[in-house]
Every structure is written in structure tokens, then in C-alpha cells.
């Protein structure tokens, strides 16, 4: 009996399966709070313009890998917080994060099946969609196009996806048993 359909096609590499400890609610809140603090750091104007949206990246991670643990409410509250902190049009980040959450939920089963390169491309598409929504809201409100560097933050965010993926998982990896020989 041929069970070839159970295995990935030749030349493709299935992502390694890793058994992690259960994630706690306080840890999710801590990672989102850390992302908020990083996003609120005062940086020079050029770096500020191309800095990735760490809240968006962290929300995508939690929705993709633990879709039942993070809902739309934290995304909405963090979006409104970013709107107030940036002094931007009230609700633009909240709307963008809500769409980001929807897209991450929609594609979460697909994303976890792929290797890291394909995950980066999916995350890039989700981050770009979020940025396009924020840009659309700004343009409808009468703002001017922010410039050619505007979409670089999504590229940098997608490039940071493997780093964020590994950093968030550090406390979730089981420790080696010192008694096992």
C-alpha cells in the first residue's frame, strides 16, 4: 500500500516538530507589553520610519501559534494605545491590527505547515496588508503619502520573524532533565 501522500513531496523539508511547555496568559501579556514598550521607544526620525511594528509581529506570532489564546480585544486595545501614543488618527492602528488578526487567523494553519522562508513571506503579506490599511486611513483623512521608505518597516518586520519566533519560544522550551543520563 502506497502512503506517499502522508509524506512531504521530495525536495521539501517539513518544519521540525517541537514539544513546548504550555503557554501561560501572563507570558502572552508580558510579550505584548514588551512589544508595546519597544514600539514606544523614542528613536531618530529615519529609524522610527523604518522600525518594524513589534506589536503587529507579536500579535501575529500568538495568533498563528496559539490562535485560541489571543483574541481581537488585546489587538484593539493595543491599537488604540498606539494611536494615542503616536498622535495619529484615532482607530487606525486598531483597525489595522484587527485586520491583521483576521488574516493571521485565516492563514494560521497554512503558516505553521511551512518552513521559515515561507512563513516569512506570509508574515510579510500580513504586515503589508496592515500597513496598507493604515496608509489608506491616513490618505482618506487628508494626509500626504509618507514617502518611499514607508513599506520598509514591513520588510524589516518580516526579516525579524525568525528572530522573534525563536526568542518568544525560549521560555517555552522544556529544560533538560539533569537526572536523565
Full pLDDT tens readout for the chain, 181 residues = 454 444 445 555 555 667 777 888 999 999 999 999 999 998 898 888 889 999 999 999 999 999 888 989 999 999 999 999 988 889 999 999 999 999 999 999 999 999 999 999 999 999 999 999 999 999 999 989 888 888 999 999 999 999 999 999 988 888 776 565 5
Joined grid coordinates for residue 145: 503619502
Residue 104: partners with Cβ closer than 8 Å, 6 or more residues away = 59, 60, 63, 64, 67, 111, 126
- Number of neighbours of residue 107 by Cβ within 10 angstroms: 17
CATH topology of domain 22-172: Arp2/3 complex 21 kDa subunit ARPC3 (1.10.1760)
**For the chain, how long is the longest CA-to-CA vector?**
67
Residue with cell 493571521: 104
pTM as predicted: 0.85
Residue with cell 490562535: 67
Residue from 145, 54, 67 nearest 106 by CA: 67
Domain extent listing, the chain: 22-172
- Tell me the C-alpha distance between 158 and 86, whole Å: 22
∠ Cα 70 73 37 (to 5°): 80
Amino acid at each position: 500500500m502506497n502512503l506517499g501522500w502522508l509524506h512531504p513531496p521530495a525536495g521539501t523539508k517539513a518544519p521540525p516538530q517541537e514539544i513546548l511547555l504550555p503557554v501561560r496568559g501572563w507570558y502572552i501579556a508580558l510579550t505584548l507589553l514588551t512589544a508595546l514598550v519597544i514600539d514606544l521607544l523614542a528613536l531618530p526620525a529615519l529609524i522610527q520610519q523604518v522600525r518594524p511594528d513589534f506589536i503587529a509581529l507579536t500579535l501575529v506570532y500568538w495568533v498563528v501559534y496559539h490562535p485560541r489564546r489571543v483574541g481581537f480585544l488585546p489587538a484593539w486595545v493595543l491599537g488604540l494605545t498606539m494611536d494615542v501614543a503616536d498622535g495619529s488618527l484615532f482607530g487606525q492602528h486598531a483597525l489595522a491590527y484587527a485586520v491583521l488578526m483576521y488574516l493571521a487567523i485565516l492563514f494560521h494553519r497554512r503558516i505553521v505547515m511551512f518552513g521559515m522562508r515561507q512563513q516569512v513571506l506570509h508574515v510579510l503579506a500580513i504586515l503589508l496588508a496592515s500597513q496598507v490599511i493604515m496608509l489608506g486611513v491616513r490618505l482618506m483623512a487628508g494626509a500626504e503619502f509618507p514617502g518611499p521608505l514607508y513599506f520598509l518597516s514591513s520588510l524589516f518586520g518580516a526579516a525579524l520573524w525568525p528572530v522573534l519566533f525563536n526568542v518568544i519560544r525560549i521560555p517555552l522550551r522544556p529544560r533538560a532533565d539533569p537526572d536523565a543520563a
